[in-house]
């Protein structure tokens, strides 16, 4: 079981080097940190530790202490937002048995998660909640039917702009709804009038990542299907493509090869090979607006992203680069999602 036992004055995330999309996960900057106690009943265990986003996934960083009652405990002070974690007991990775909130980890297992404090990452009473449904999109190019999660704002709307969001490696359509918390972000921003109605589509692409027809599916078949079956506006200027990690890399690749397919490109912590920085920057100069997001603690990704951002400026691309505190995980993703949704609302013609 885990629970907050104390609160103290909050700490603002470090200011990003280039732009500031807001507090982590849409949490107010003045919100308090909380001391959260984690505990795990395992009287026969020899060693148990807490491992997660709060300690860089280091099994040695946060050991737990066993009490006379056989329960292992540790208390950690956490900032507002979502935190993913596991327990590591005698060499075994475990989810928190007393926390029912868990989701796939992309490696065949699951991780636990908790929400600390309040912010746009939470489901709030008094806010109209959109609907997330599973749709199936037939693809001739892929020779398969692709499942996708589709977020639709509550109520009847005319044809809407659409934002397509791609998941990371070995993940699926659930990544953006489970730990991406996309429906709650959209609901809360819509409630305050910070965005206008916008469809958000999250396809499962893991079986098709290396398929030669993937570009055709994303650039042609998916937009056509959404216009015909989901009230999406048909013009390229009214749709955006973004993605996290591998999804960010796919976003960059499609922007370089099909620059007219979408009206907004938003790679988040996307990797690209060094030899592609210059040619892709020239190709993206002919694409619609590009907004790159990266965590400044994302050691394996940030250098190349900074190189691409500089090359895009040199090439005269319509591009922004947003760098925030965080690494290659959901703390980073939750931090930049509200900024992306506001930009999509504005740049895709959904908002003022």
How many residues make up the chain in this entry? Answer: 352
| Phi, psi for 35 (deg, rounded to 5) | -90, 120
Q: Quick one: pLDDT band at residue 6, thresholds 50, 70, 90?
A: very low
Q: Give the chain's end-to-end CA distance (angstroms, integer).
A: 45
Angle (CA) 162 166 169, round 5°: 175
Over the stretch 221-241, which tens digit does the pLDDT of each residue have? 999 999 999 999 999 999 999
Please give the Cα distance from 40 to 233 (Å, whole number).
50
DSSP 103-156: EE-SSSSEEEEEEES-STTS--TTS---EEEEEEEEETTTTEEEEEEEEE-SS-
DSSP 256-307: HH-TTS-SEEEEES----GGGHHHHHHHHTTSS-EEEEEETT-HHHHHHHHH
The pairing of strands 33-41 and 48-52 is unpaired
Tell whether the model's pLDDT for residue 27 goes beyond 80: no
pLDDT confidence of residue 343: 96
pLDDT confidence of residue 36: 95
pLDDT confidence of residue 32: 79
Q: pLDDT > 90: what percent of the chain?
A: 84
Kindly report the average pLDDT of the chain as a whole number: 89
Please give the Cα distance from 102 to 308 (Å, whole number).
35
Q: Quick one: pLDDT band at residue 350, thresholds 50, 70, 90?
A: low
User: Which residues on adjacent β-strands are paired with residue 131?
Assistant: 152
Burial environment of residue 147 by CB neighbours within 10 A (0 to 12, 13 to 18, 19 or more) = middle
What's the chain's Rg over C-alpha atoms? 21
> What is the mean pLDDT of the segment spanning 280-303?
93
Contacts of 274 (CB under 8 A, 6+ apart): 304, 307
Q: pLDDT > 70: what percent of the chain?
A: 90
Tell whether the model's pLDDT for residue 5 goes beyond 50: no
Break the chain down into helix, strand, coil percent, rounded to 5: 30, 30, 40
Under 8 Å between Cβ of 66 and 27: no
> What is the mean pLDDT of the segment spanning 132-140?
98
Over the stretch 93-107, which tens digit does the pLDDT of each residue have? 999 998 999 999 888
Contacts of 17 (CB under 8 A, 6+ apart): 296, 323
Under 8 Å between Cβ of 54 and 76: yes
Please give the Cα distance from 68 to 62 (Å, whole number).
20
> What is the mean pLDDT of the segment spanning 106-129?
94
User: Which residues on adjacent β-strands are paired with residue 71?
Assistant: 41
Domains belonging to the chain, first-starting first, are: 2-116 (2.60.40.10), 131-347 (3.40.50.1820)
Please give the Cα distance from 43 to 91 (Å, whole number).
16
Tell whether the model's pLDDT for residue 299 goes beyond 80: yes
> What is the mean pLDDT of the segment spanning 214-219?
98
């Amino acid at each position: 079981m885990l629970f907050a036992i104390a609160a103290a004055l909050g700490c603002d995330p470090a200011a990003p080097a280039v732009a500031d999309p807001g507090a982590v996960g849409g949490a107010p900057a003045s919100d308090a940190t909380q001391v959260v106690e984690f505990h795990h009943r395992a009287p026969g265990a020899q060693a148990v530790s807490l491992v997660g986003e709060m300690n860089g996934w280091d099994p040695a960083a946060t050991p737990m202490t066993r009490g006379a009652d056989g329960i292992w405990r540790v208390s950690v002070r956490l900032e507002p937002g979502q935190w993913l974690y596991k327990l590591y007991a005698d060499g075994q990775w475990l989810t928190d048995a007393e926390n029912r909130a868990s989701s796939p980890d992309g490696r065949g297992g699951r991780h636990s998660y908790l929400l600390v404090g309040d912010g746009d990452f939470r489901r709030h009473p008094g806010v109209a909640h959109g609907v997330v449904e599973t749709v199936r999109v037939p693809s001739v190019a892929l020779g398969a039917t692709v499942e996708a999660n589709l977020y639709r704002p509550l109520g009847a709307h005319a044809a809407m702009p659409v934002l397509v969001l791609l998941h990371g490696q070995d993940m699926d359509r659930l990544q953006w709804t489970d730990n991406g918390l996309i429906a709650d972000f959209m609901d809360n921003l819509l409630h305050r009038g910070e965005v206008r109605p916008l469809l958000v589509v999250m396809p499962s692409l893991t079986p098709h990542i290396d398929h030669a027809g993937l570009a055709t599916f994303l650039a042609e078949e998916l937009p056509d299907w959404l216009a015909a079956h989901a009230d999406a506006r048909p013009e390229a200027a009214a749709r955006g493509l973004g993605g996290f990690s591998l999804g960010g890399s796919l976003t960059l690749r499609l922007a370089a090869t099909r620059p007219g397919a979408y009206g907004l490109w938003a790679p988040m912590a996307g990797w690209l090979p060094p030899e592609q920085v210059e040619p892709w920057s020239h190709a993206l100069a002919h694409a619609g607006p590009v907004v790159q997001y990266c965590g400044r603690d994302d050691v394996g990704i940030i250098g190349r992203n900074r190189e691409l951002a500089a090359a895009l400026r040199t090439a005269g691309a319509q591009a922004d680069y947003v760098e925030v505190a965080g690494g290659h995980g959901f703390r980073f993703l939750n931090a930049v999602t509200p900024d992306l949704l506001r930009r999509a609302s504005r740049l895709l013609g959904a908002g003022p």
